[in-house]
Structure 1
Amino acid sequence: MNLRQIKLVISDIDGTLLTTHHLIDDQLKDVLLELHQKAIPFILASARSPEGMSPITEELNLSDNPLVCYNGALVLKKQSDENYTVLFSHELNRTDVQQLINLINTKFPHVTINLYSGSEWYVDKIDKWTKIEADITKEHPIVKNIQQLLLNVALPIHKLLLIGESEEIKQLLEYCTNLRLPNSSFYLSKDNYLEITHRDVSKDKALVELSKYYDVPLENTMAIGDNFNDIPMLSLAGLGIVMDNAPEEVKKSTNLKTTDNNHNGVSKAIRKFILDT
């Protein structure tokens, strides 16, 4: 295809437009201004919550664009400082969640349960894992009894994040898989981070929803990412760009590569494949 036909760009955050020290690609703001002048939306897609993505959107002047949160479980658009309009929402099944919470409380009591609903992050207690996550995302969790939260049937559950020691999380993943829950999917975003969302949630499905929202054919989209959960999105987009810091298996998902996240990979990809063509 003609590279000049790209009309929509979607990008992962961690390991992609953020450096290993969690700093934003320092050339990106200027590049995004040029994209904006060409009326090409730049969409952030992440496992993060809306609040965890907010500082990045504000620094990059992206507050008017939709956000793909929780890997696509929630896609929303900011309307004001504290208000969002939900574009798409895919929530966990409450029965599945209750089974998972019971399993963790019974067999894995040292695992930290993080429950995400809309823009809110709930935890049973503050511990070393929540402190680490808060430091990364610049968010502050709300301490609530998770079991009591589940009694509120009106509360949407977009994601569970289970954090613990790597070996314990590996065992927990095996237990979760053996439960064969029909509506939930599980994946490791880190060796000690187990993410749980609805089985229909993925970045590639979010890309489909956004391509329809903007009335842009998939062949006219570009996706940038670095990890295993980015592979379907990279494969589906008209142009799938993989970061040089990605694992080898992820690199095999597309033949288009940019530099790593510590060397302005996202900015260079946009310049090479859109702005300088």
Structure 2
Amino acid sequence: MTEVKLILSDIDGTILNDKNIVDSDLRRNIAELRHQKIHFVLASARSPKGMVALAQELDILDNPIVCYNGALVVKDLQKDNYQTILSHSMNILEIKEIFQILHEKFPRISINLYSGSNWYVENFDKWVKIEADITNMTPIEINLNQLVAEQRVPVHKLLLISDTSEIKQARQYLQDNNFANSSFYLSKDNYLEITDRDVSKQKALRELVKYYQINLNNTMTLGDNFNDVPMLDLAQIGIAMGNAPDEVKKHADVVTKSNNENGVSDAIKKYALKR
């Protein structure tokens, strides 16, 4: 059996069920992990502010948190001057070109820009409202073109939201443009995430291994979607949720129960906790 010293877990579709409720056994299992000196770290496409409530609920505010799929790794999330462990922003010229394509070809798509702990939007449309309700965050309404042109803030992530069919078309169109520095992936059927090509949860895992001074052979990861595949591949034990697509499951060492069946807690008890 692998001695697990670090667990890196996705959030949506993993520790959260389909009603956005946290795995009911997880807080208790995390307390036992802490007792056994096993670190539990959240990794998500979300912003730092979008993860504070979850980290507080699970009593892991003192742990590092992987935001924007690895573009930003922070610690002491509850503080305004949180510690930055890793920060990787997008290429400004490519952001401008992406904006131009979206305005000309896909004007109905909701564009969301994330920098540090801030969320910027052009308009508070229906998609923004849905995301605000999920994350308990309020975006800053601003002219995104101007914000990027003036390079006032680093851009850690863009999130495009619309109907599934339109997001699928936009993803294909953007990928066909062969952007050298940008990566496009779906976190939901109608959520297209864009980060720098060098950003991934896999790289975040490598950074956390150095931070905790442990070996990759002592790591376990849990996820449910395609943006989780790199970290499932890298960890000693990569665990896919029962609700994950079949293609994602192929990259896992183990498939646990679904997110509606406390699959994360089940995996922790089976593969991490020492009895």
Q: TM-score, normalised by structure 2?
A: 0.97
Say which of 221, 224, 229 aligns to 1:223: 221
Say which of 268, 272, 275 aligns to 1:274: 272
1:191 counterpart letter in structure 2: D
Say which of 6, 17, 20 aligns to 1:8: 6
Aligned mates of 2:78, 2:176 — CA distance in 1: 43
Alignment-derived partner of residue 161 in structure 1: 159
Alignment-derived partner of residue 137 in structure 1: 135
Alignment-derived partner of residue 208 in structure 2: 210
Aligned mates of 1:113, 1:67 — CA distance in 2: 24
Describe the shift of the 1:180–1:132 C-alpha distance in structure 2 as closer, same or farther (beyond 3 A): same
Gap runs ≥5 in structure 2: none
Alignment-derived partner of residue 201 in structure 1: 199
- Does the residue aligned with 1:162 lie in a helix, a strand or coil? strand
Say which of 96, 99, 103 aligns to 1:98: 96
1:188 counterpart letter in structure 2: L
Tell whether 2:196 aligns with 1:178. no
Q: TM-score, normalised by structure 1?
A: 0.96
Aligned mates of 1:30, 1:109 — CA distance in 2: 46
Between the two proteins, what is the percent identity of the paired residues? 53
- Matched residue count: 275
1:87 counterpart letter in structure 2: I
- Does the residue aligned with 1:95 lie in a helix, a strand or coil? helix
Aligned mates of 1:160, 1:211 — CA distance in 2: 27
Alignment-derived partner of residue 263 in structure 1: 261
Shift of 1:38: 1.4
Gap runs ≥5 in structure 1: none
1:91 counterpart letter in structure 2: S
Runs of 4+ off more than 4 Å: none
Alignment-derived partner of residue 235 in structure 1: 233
Aligned mates of 1:163, 1:88 — CA distance in 2: 26
Aligned mates of 2:234, 2:83 — CA distance in 1: 26
Say which of 144, 147, 150 aligns to 1:149: 147
Shift of 1:80: 4.4
Shift of 1:276: 4.3
The root-mean-square deviation of aligned C-alpha atoms, in Å, is: 1.2
